[in-house]
Chain A
């Protein structure tokens, strides 16, 4: 993947929302003193009356987004991931989930992309808590093109959505095609082990494939951009073909993709599972790439873990 172009996920997100807003006058943007960093600059300039600034009050912003949605608007609220999830959790559950309002919550700088800012700014439990909210979709698109298409899909979907995007530029490796909510995709066929990844980690997993095949391991790679509802069929398929599953995510090991996959396997297709992610502790700090490598979530670390688990 050395020649692949990298793009800023926030800019891709903002551009996609702006493009959708040009076609749909019901789309409104919500900012918590974060619109510029969320890629909402063009939106604000073009549609100031549809751009609602709430300052640093995420709880009110989520509640107000619910109220706006009751009038037929489609609010898109993007801010730093822990502040739109953990800080506003009761509003997500009651005002969006329980009220079943058509609001799109986007947590940017998800995972540990704010690597140097410490645990207050890390978001390593957002999948776990949002996937416990009934009727809320949880999305983690995997490359810039998919972010664009996932934005359109989440706006077309009627109901609450949580989408996580990162911050660091990420490589383009997926085709430009409509995003299928609730569907994973087999990115590489393989027979020895199925690696199921989401968000930023899917690109790293693909980068690890060369090292695995060099060791004689033939991995299936599945991109799982929807965390909830999880794609049961593709997990059963993966378990049936390979008999071993590794999950990879920029999230605490418990609670997120790995747990969702394990729940499916426990009920339908018991197979050994290795869950890769960040241990449930307050993560360390430092440059993003170095920190990901420290937690074994770069291509080399993923290859080493998969080899130890599935090596012949």
Chain B
């Protein structure tokens, strides 16, 4: 991919981060940290990797995206809005009565959402079922599941990791948003799943470790899928929690963020500068 195209994607990601702030501003609070860490991956998927059509969100043969770590939903909403799945004015309803963008995604409320997630440890099994159904139909469509690193502690995930390898679901890719922090502190202290990629590989997956906040890295990895024919793929995306906000980066306290006016103002300033810098 050319440098210009990378720059364009980085501009999209910056605007998507700004969309997250727009939701936080509307709702007063939200799961910001994880949304910001995974948003480069989600942006790359929707803007350059997945076969989707915002005008026809149920298009036959489309690629599927599942945000298993549903609390990072502001990232998905931000990207869906930026990609044109719905009017950006919807972002201003975050936190309001009967909003279409609740605190965890609901496929029946919003176009582009493929699964209802929020309880952790569900998305991968659902994604596997999608992958198997698509294979049965001999569809070329692929399934992408973004998981949190803290989420790896849910045992149901490892059922699905085993089953995906057993069924040779090479149309299935997991991206672990490995920001190293969960609500109570460092993932390594709370429940370590190191070495993450090796564990997936031991179950029969093919994997790669990347810098998940580096657009060239992200695009390169997503462009090489499947890493091995006949195996599901895992991308361990090393990311920074609350990426893009200098005062919040890599701090577990920003898992859920209820900003004061000063912090919000600073966040807006910083992201507006990033959008300008991206020049897109």
Contact = CB atoms under 8 A, between A and B. Distances in A.
Interface of A: 28, 49-50, 52, 54-55, 57, 59-73, 75, 90-91, 94-95, 98-100
Q: Which 7 A-B pairs have the closest CB atoms?
A: A67-B129, A63-B125, A71-B133, A64-B129, A60-B159, A57-B159, A67-B130
Contact of B163 (A50, A54, A66, A73): A54
A208 B137 CA distance: 52
Interface in B156-215: 156, 159-160, 162-163, 166-167
Contact of B132 (A57, A59, A67): A67
B133 to A, nearest CB: 3
Interface in B95-128: 106-108, 114-116, 118-119, 121-122, 124-128
B261 interface: no
Given A52-B132, A60-B125, A99-B107, 20 more contacts: A57-B160, A57-B162, A59-B159, A63-B128, A64-B125, A64-B128, A64-B132, A64-B160, A67-B115, A67-B126, A67-B129, A68-B133, A69-B133, A70-B64, A70-B114, A70-B126, A70-B129, A94-B119, A95-B126, A99-B116
Contacts of B132: 52, 64, 67-68
A65 B129 CA distance: 6
Contact of A66 (B118, B126, B137): B126
5 contacts: A63-B128, A71-B134, A72-B133, A90-B122, A91-B125
Contacts of B127: 67
Contacts of A75: 129
B136 interface: yes
A73 B125 contact: no
B74 interface: no
Contacts of A70: 64, 114-115, 126, 129-130, 133
Nearest to B118: A94
B14 interface: no
A63 B156 contact: yes
Contact of B126 (A64, A72, A73, A100): A64
Among B64, B132, B137: residue with most chain A CB under 10 A: B132
B136 to A, nearest CB: 7
Q: Which of the four size classes fits the interface of chain B?
A: 20 to 34
Contacts of B130: 67-68, 70-71
Q: Which of B108, B122, B127, B167 is packed against the most chain A CB atoms within 10 Å? A: B122
Contacts of A57: 159-160, 162-163
A94 B163 contact: no
A57 B155 CA distance: 10
Interface of B: 64, 106-108, 114-116, 118-119, 121-122, 124-134, 136-137, 155-156, 159-160, 162-163, 166-167
Most buried by A among B106, B133, B136, B162: B133
A99 B160 contact: no
A98 B128 contact: no
Nearest to A67: B129
Contacts of A68: 129-130, 132-133
A61 B124 CA distance: 11
B136 A49 contact: yes
Contacts of B128: 60, 63-64, 67
A94 B116 contact: yes
Nearest to B117: A94
B129 A63 contact: yes
B134 to A, nearest CB: 6
B145 to A, nearest CB: 10
Contacts of A67: 115, 125-133
Contacts of A49: 136
A93 to B, nearest CB: 9
Nearest to B161: A60
Given A67-B125, A70-B114, A60 B160 contact: yes
A61 to B, nearest CB: 8
Contacts of B108: 100
Contacts of B118: 94
B129 A91 contact: no
Contacts of B125: 59-64, 66-67, 91, 95
A69 B126 CA distance: 9
A68 B151 CA distance: 23
Given A57-B159, A60-B160, A90 B133 contact: no
A183 B197 CA distance: 53
Nearest to B128: A64
A110 B118 CA distance: 31
B215 to A, nearest CB: 29
Contacts of B64: 70
Contacts of A63: 122, 124-126, 128-129, 156, 160
Contacts of B137: 71-72
A22 B130 CA distance: 23
A99 B105 CA distance: 11
Nearest to A66: B126
Nearest to B127: A67
B97 to A, nearest CB: 19
Nearest to A60: B159
Nearest to B160: A60
Contacts of A52: 132, 167
